[in-house]
Each structure stands twice: as C-alpha cells, then as structure tokens.
Amino acid sequence: MPHYTPPLRDMQFVMHEVLNAVDELKALPAHADIDADTINAVLEEGGKFAANVIAPLNQSGDEEGCTLDRATHEVTAPKGFKEAYAKYVEGGWPALSSDPAFGGQGLPHMVNQCMYEMMNSANQAWTMYPGLSHGAYECLHTHGSDEQKRMYLHKLTSGEWTGTMCLTESHCGTDLGLLRSKAEPQPDGSYKLTGNKIFISAGEHDLAANIVHLVLARLPDAPAGSKGISLFIVPKFLVNADGSLGARNTIFCGGLEHKMGIHGNATAQINLDGAVGTLVGQPNKGLAAMFVMMNAARLGVGMQSLGLTEVAYQNAVAYAKDRIQMRSLSGVKNPDKPADTIIVHPDVRKMLLTARAYAEGGRAFAMWTTLQLDKELASTDPEVRAECNDLVSLVTPIVKAFLTDNAWIATSHCMQVFGGHGYVREWGMEQYVRDARINMIYEGTNTIQSLDLLGRKVLGDNGAKLKKFGKLVAEFIEEEGTNEAMQEFVNPLADLGDKVTKLTTEIGMKAFKNPDEVGAAAVDYLRVCGHLVFAYFWARMAKVALEKLDGGDPFYQAKLTTARFYFAKLLPETATLIRTARAGSASLMEMDEALF
C-alpha cells in the first residue's frame, strides 16, 4: 500500500520564508490575530487526519467503489468513508476558512488550501465530498439571500450537510447555453424543476444528512443561450422553517457513471421530477452566480493534482531507493549488493526530479494565489482588492490547467519508475495516474481554460491583467539583477518574460484577422505562461535557499538543486511551445472535414 507524509516543512518554507504570508495576513483586519505557530499547529493536525484517517481508505475505496440501490435511489460510499467524514466534521475541518458569522473559524484561505492539498494526496475521491460543499458555501455566501444563508450556511459550514453543483447535461458540457432543465414558478415563491444532469460529483451519498444541490435551469420566459440561465437551491430533503429536515425532495440519482478513476466518489446522474427549489440571486443571472463556485472548483481541481503529484513523488522516491537493477554507468554505487539501486540512473532521477519540481513549484504558486484571494476578500483598501481580484482571475485557469497537466506527466513518470510493478494495482501507482486524468477534463477542460486565459483574461483587456503579473516579475528581476549568484535564475526568467510579451502581441494581431488563431495557440500559450509563473516562484525560492545555504540545513541544498533542475530541464520546453503557438491555425484548419 502507498504511504504518505504531509510536506509540512515545505509548506512552512513557502509560507513563512518565501511569501512572508503572516505579515501580509496580519495587515488584514479579519486576520490581525493570526500567527505562524497557530497556522503550523493547524496544518500539523490536518496532516495527521489526512495521513492516518483517509489515506488508508484510498486504495480500498478505489477497489470497492460506490453502490447504488436503484429501488431507493440511495448511494452507499465505500467502506470507511462515512466514518472518516464523521471524524472530519467532529474535528471542525469543514469550518476552517468559513465566515465566523455562520460558525466558521475564519482562518485564511491559504491555510484551507494547504489542508486540501494534503487531503487530496491522501484520498482525492474522498476529498471531493467536502470540497464541493465548500464551493456551494462560497456561492451562497456571495449570492444567497439572508433567508437562504440562515437556512443553509450553518449546516454547510459545520459539515452536517454537503453540497454539489449541477450543471452538465448529456447534450451539453461546457456550453451551458444549451441546457434544457426547466424551472416553473409556483404561487408560494418556490419553483419546480424538471430535467436531467450528468457527471455530478458527490451527487448522492450516505456521508451527510442532506445534500444541497445548486442547479442551473431555465425559467419559462428565459432568453436563449447563457443569458437565460438561473440558479436554484434544490435540497435532497426539504428544509422546514426551523431548520429541521422535511420530506424527501424529488431529486434522485438515476445512475452512477462507470469511470476510469476516482471510483470512491459518486459521480451521479441526477433526475429532477418537479423538485422544489428556490431561486438564488436574480432571474437569468444564474451563470454569474455559479461562477463563484466554478472558480472555487477550478482552484480546487488544481489542488487535487498538486496532491497527486506530491504523493506519487514520495512513493516513487521510496521505491527508487530500495529497488536494485543493473549497475551505474559511472561505476558501482552499492558494492555490498548484486546491483545498484535505481536512483543512481540519470533518467530515473530525471523522472523523480520532474515530479518534485512540479510539486514544489505548484505548491508555491497555489499558496501565493490563495494569499491573493485572502487579500481580495479581506482587505479594507479597494485598490488592493481590485488588484488581487485581477491577479486571481488571471491565474485561475493556469492553476487549473498547468497543475493538472503537470500531474498527468508526473504521475505517469512516477509509475514508470516502478517499472512493471507500477502497472500492477497492488502498488497503488496506477490509481494515481487514473485519478489524475479526470482533473484535465472536468470543471472546464484544459483547452477551455486556455481559451479563457488567452481570449478573455489577456486579449480581452489588452493585456492589463497580464501586465500586473509581469510587474511582479520585473520588480524581482530589478531587485536581483546585480546579484551574481542569482543570474542562473534571473536571466532565463527575464528572457521568458520578454518572449511572452512578444508572443501575446503577435497572437493578438493575428486574431484581429482570424479568430481561429486564438484557438490554435491557446493551449501552448497557457503552458508558456505556466512556466513563466513557475520560473518566477522557483527563482524566489532559490533566492531564499541561497541565503540560508551556509546554515547547513540540507533542505536548502535540495531546494536549490531542484531549482537548477527546473531551469535546466523543464523550462526549455517553452522554446518549442512558443514555436508551435506561432505556427498559426492554417495547418489545423485547412483540411476538409470529409478527409478526416
């Protein structure tokens, strides 16, 4: 069975030594009393929950899967999942970063993000149950009425109830303007919803007493397309005025999807047959309201892949240090054994360091992003809130797409380290690969994220948001420009920054003549931007490591070595990506459809 050790030392390094997060958080009234010891203690306990409670259920949950009783429409999660969820609720973990007004602990989102990384490493399928609940909480906290907040937020915060997002229908995925589910207004102000949804993660289960479904549907007089979508709360059980549970609502699980991975999570087909719901926000404005949950989910999917990258790396390293196979090309390294351990071989090290660099780079990027989110939500300065909103908006598609692409690469590499054993279920590595694959697809495929980044976030405002991140990079380069020890990191960072600026301008000019140029370049463009972001954070981490190197702590030497590997072996991928992004759309679009 795979093992997992929470990477607390690295989290503390990023939080306290690279980002100086506590000082930034203390400047926010909501977090004025926060301190490093509190954060460290919370994450240490969170790591114990992840490693000791849900990690042992990961492999068994994958093998058992979820069970649907077609007569009752009830779903049973794998053995141990319900009991683990009870411990999660008992420990107060659902309330970690929620509003104290609704029973939350009010801790920074950055702390919650670290908790979710650890839980995703331990058991992604299980973690999706509370993860979706947090997204539902965020949506209702932002757009719900006072009555809806009173009725639902305390129970979502405590974890007594869970939540879902019901968007997709069989005939439409990302193109929600095509959805057909209907909502009929009733005399009492409620609505009756009819329709069918598919791919609803955690859509039905036995972990909690109630499930709060957030459902997109159309009113009778709604305009066509995405401008005619409204958002509704449709609970599994109706809620009485005093908050107690009432009758079973007519929203049921009609089937479970048979999936490649995340078997322990119930991916449900949801049928609404006149189910009672209440409108969230304004009629026909549901998509904007749901985007709060969708964006939270996109950041959450990035955390899923970050968690898988980390745990796959840990297990591959342990195997590579133990498995003996052949002799080192440069001479015997383990003379007391009949062969050398495979960690002596250059390509094994390349695979391991790729996973490590993507895990540690992704962690720094994710923690910085959620720190900006904390500032956006809690700062009293409107300019700071606006600035952080722009940065979070810009990087959200990069968090989702770049981290999930990297996890697919990293988990595949780590399985390869195991050789034939990696392909065998008992070792656990093939599960990480299977689980990682969905993260590139749901919550908007990575191509959709790429179109969002290039089309909306960059070209849509003539590069204004991109320039704000570019300013951070430029300031760092200016600060370290005369530091000789930093040139191996600063120079390639500066070079890539210039190339991104030129590439953006070139694609923008082409797009004026032919919009397909955006579609042709978007995926490569996002990956280039992802490397720009990683290069920036790896340079920042290298700076701290260089400053602490003389102290003798091997942690800093390892960090510096990984930074050098990233700049030498992974960042050069951008040269090819830039070239293919510039190649344009002609070679993609000129072939007649009949010839495919």
Find the mean pLDDT for residues 99-104: 96
Same domain (yes/no): 540, 461: yes
The confidence band for 289, taking pLDDT boundaries of 50, 70 and 90, is confident
Q: Which residues contact 388 (CB under 8 A, 6 or more apart)?
A: 372, 373, 375, 376, 379
What whole-number percentage of the chain has pLDDT above 90?
A: 96
Upper half-sphere CA count for residue 92 (Cβ side, 13 Å):
12
What is the number of other CB atoms lying within 10 angstroms of the CB of residue 211?
Answer: 28
Residue 360 and residue 541: Cα distance in Å, rounded?
10
Decide which of 259, 284, 309 is a domain's last residue. 284
Same domain (yes/no): 129, 189: no
Q: How buried is 27 (Cβ within 10 angstroms: 0-12 exposed, 13-18 middle, 19+ buried)?
A: middle
The confidence band for 295, taking pLDDT boundaries of 50, 70 and 90, is confident
Helices (H), 215-345: 286-322
Residue 285 and residue 363: Cα distance in Å, rounded?
34
Q: What is the pLDDT of residue 465?
A: 98
- 151 within a domain of the structure (yes/no): no
| pLDDT higher than 90, residue 18 | yes
Do the beta carbons of residue 575 and residue 531 sit within 8 Å? Answer: no
Q: Report the chain's mean pLDDT, rounded to a whole number.
A: 97
The confidence band for 213, taking pLDDT boundaries of 50, 70 and 90, is very high
| pLDDT higher than 90, residue 294 | no
Q: What is the pLDDT of residue 35?
A: 97
Decide which of 269, 284, 299 is a domain's last residue. 284
- 208 within a domain of the structure (yes/no): yes
Q: What is the pLDDT of residue 42?
A: 98
Find the mean pLDDT for residues 318-343: 96
Q: Which residues contact 130 (CB under 8 A, 6 or more apart)?
A: 85, 88, 93, 94, 159, 162
| pLDDT higher than 90, residue 516 | yes
The confidence band for 320, taking pLDDT boundaries of 50, 70 and 90, is very high
- 531 within a domain of the structure (yes/no): yes
Per-residue HEC secondary structure of 168-226 comes to: CECCECCCHHHCCCEEEECCCCCEEEEEEEEEEECCCCCCCCEEEEEEEEECCCCCCHH
Domain harbouring 115, CATH code:
1.10.540.10
Residue 445 and residue 449: Cα distance in Å, rounded?
6
Same domain (yes/no): 102, 178: no
| 443 among known catalytic residues | yes
Decide which of 233, 251, 284 is a domain's last residue. 284
pLDDT tens, position by position, 364-380: 999 999 999 999 999 99
| pLDDT higher than 90, residue 291 | no
Q: Quick one: tokens of 515?
A: 């919009």
Same domain (yes/no): 19, 133: yes
Q: Quick one: tokens of 366?
A: 């994710």
Find the mean pLDDT for residues 337-347: 97
∠ Cα 503 507 510 (to 5°): 145
Beta pairing class for 237-239 and 230-235: unpaired
- 27 within a domain of the structure (yes/no): yes
Q: What one-character DSSP code corresponds to residue 257?
A: -
Reported residue count of the chain is: 596
Same domain (yes/no): 27, 98: yes
**243 phi/psi in degrees, rounded to 5:** 90, -5
Same domain (yes/no): 127, 170: no
Q: What is the pLDDT of residue 308?
A: 98
Same domain (yes/no): 139, 12: yes
Find the mean pLDDT for residues 278-304: 91
Do the beta carbons of residue 48 and residue 91 sit within 8 Å? Answer: no
What is the number of other CB atoms lying within 10 angstroms of the CB of residue 314?
Answer: 20
Same domain (yes/no): 471, 497: yes
Q: In one letter, which amino acid is 318?
A: A
Find the mean pLDDT for residues 585-592: 95
Residue 71 and residue 215: Cα distance in Å, rounded?
24
Q: Which domain holds residue 13?
A: 8-67+75-143
Which candidate, 374, 411, 405, places its Cα nearest to that of 389?
Answer: 374
pLDDT tens, position by position, 394-438: 999 999 999 999 999 999 999 999 999 999 999 999 999 999 999
Find the mean pLDDT for residues 44-64: 98
Q: How buried is 74 (Cβ within 10 angstroms: 0-12 exposed, 13-18 middle, 19+ buried)?
A: middle
The confidence band for 292, taking pLDDT boundaries of 50, 70 and 90, is confident
Same domain (yes/no): 132, 176: no
Q: Does residue 329 sit in helix, strand or coil?
A: coil
- 121 within a domain of the structure (yes/no): yes
Do the beta carbons of residue 522 and residue 450 sit within 8 Å? Answer: yes
Q: Does residue 2 sit in helix, strand or coil?
A: coil
The confidence band for 498, taking pLDDT boundaries of 50, 70 and 90, is very high
- 575 within a domain of the structure (yes/no): yes
Q: How buried is 508 (Cβ within 10 angstroms: 0-12 exposed, 13-18 middle, 19+ buried)?
A: middle
- 200 within a domain of the structure (yes/no): yes
Domain tally, the chain: 3
The secondary element (H helix, E strand) that includes residue 267 is strand 267-280
Do the beta carbons of residue 253 and residue 268 sit within 8 Å? Answer: yes
Q: What is the pLDDT of residue 173?
A: 82
What whole-number percentage of the chain has pLDDT above 70?
A: 100
Query: What one-character-per-residue DSSP string does 25-43 give?
Result: HHTSGGGTT--HHHHHHHH
The confidence band for 480, taking pLDDT boundaries of 50, 70 and 90, is very high
| pLDDT higher than 90, residue 176 | no
pLDDT tens, position by position, 263-288: 999 999 999 999 999 999 999 999 88
Same domain (yes/no): 134, 36: yes
The single residue of 117, 169, 430, 443 carrying the catalytic annotation is 443
- 354 within a domain of the structure (yes/no): no
Quote the pTM value: 0.98
Same domain (yes/no): 512, 541: yes
| Cross-strand pairs, 212 | 163, 235
Q: What is the pLDDT of residue 151?
A: 97
Domain harbouring 213, CATH code:
2.40.110.20
Q: Quick one: tokens of 67?
A: 């069970």
Residue 113 and residue 111: Cα distance in Å, rounded?
5
Do the beta carbons of residue 231 and residue 288 sit within 8 Å? Answer: no
pLDDT tens, position by position, 141-154: 999 999 999 999 99
Residue 17 and residue 500: Cα distance in Å, rounded?
28
Find the mean pLDDT for residues 64-77: 97
Residue 493 and residue 484: Cα distance in Å, rounded?
15
Q: What is the pLDDT of residue 268?
A: 98
| Cross-strand pairs, 245 | 239
Same domain (yes/no): 472, 560: yes
